[in-house]
Amino acid sequence: MLVITRREGEEVVIGDPSTPLGVVRIAAIKGDRVRIAFEFPREIDVHRREVAKQIVEGEDTGKSPVVGKIRPAAGDGQ
């Protein structure tokens, strides 16, 4: 596991820096809460750990326990 320190607004590039797979940015820090922005192509799944666990459990049982809809971020223009 790689652990790094970033300040608000700073980014981490994932993959080859000349053609990155994605970017993770520290969007905001307020108290003990950190907002993280992920910029990846839509075909790459990005999930919170608890949602990923539900998806895997659903695959094991044949059920779809996760119900939801992806919405563009505010100001995304889509």
User: String of b and e for 44-77 (b: at least 16 CB within 10 Å)?
Assistant: eeeeeeeeeebeeeeeeeeeeeeeeeeeeeeeee
Structure pTM? 0.70
- Condensed to tens digits (0 to 9), the pLDDT of residues 18-73 reads 999 999 999 999 999 999 999 999 999 888 999 888 888 887 776 666 566 666 66
Is the pLDDT score of 3 beyond 90? Answer: yes
